Amino acid sequence: MSDGDMLASTLTDIRRRLADLESEYERVSEELAKLRLAERSLAAIVEGTPLPEAMSGMEGDGAPRTGRGRGSRGPRANSAKGRLRALLENAGPTGLSQAEIARRLPDVAPNTLASYISVMVSNNEAQRKGDFVTAVTGPRPGAAEAAEDEDETQSDDA
């Protein structure tokens, strides 16, 4: 193996490990924020002190919080399925084997991963390529036909 090949391989490995750690850092940061909020809420209940205004569902200026929680019918970013989807989207065109997915998501049961992958493949959110699974990028097959059918139905109703 030449020095250039070895350096390129090392760079690829470092980038992959960096992406894994960044993903894990985001997940842990979100979990830490939730635990801090729960701790402050419980402390306020136990100690009988009022909750700070920022914790009662409002921003500091009294405006409701936006951009939080679950979107319309989508998985949460820190749910097992959401993390699986993000992992597959970041895996690139070669995808990941089910064993590699299990290593990167050690807190998710293997049967749960298999079920999520199966559902994602059925819904054209993911694609199997031999032993590897990749995320489907761009418009999903069948999405254009479904949109055309919906347009025709709406024009017939008008």
Give me the residue spans of the domains in the chain.
1-68, 75-158
Facing residues of 132 across strands? 97, 129
Q: What is the CA radius of gyration of the chain?
A: 22
Q: Does 52 have pLDDT greater than 80?
A: no
Q: Does 89 have pLDDT greater than 50?
A: yes
pLDDT of residue 91: 86
Whole-model pTM? 0.42
Mean pLDDT of 126-143: 77
pLDDT of residue 53: 53
- Report helix, strand and coil shares of the chain as percent, to nearest 5: 60, 10, 30
pLDDT of residue 86: 87
pLDDT of residue 68: 44
pLDDT of residue 138: 66
CATH class name, domain 75-158: mainly alpha
Q: In what order do the strands lie in the sheet with 126-129?
A: 96-97, 132-135, 126-129
Say which residue, 47 or 158, is predicted with more confidence.
Answer: 47
Other beta carbons within 10 Å of 87: 20
Mean pLDDT of 50-78: 50
Q: Does 76 have pLDDT greater than 70?
A: no
pLDDT of residue 60: 43
CA-to-CA dists, residue 140 to 57, 88, 112, 122, 145, angstroms = 37, 15, 24, 11, 10
Span of 73-82, 97-106, 114-123 with lowest mean pLDDT = 73-82
Contacts of 104 (CB under 8 A, 6+ apart): 20, 87, 96
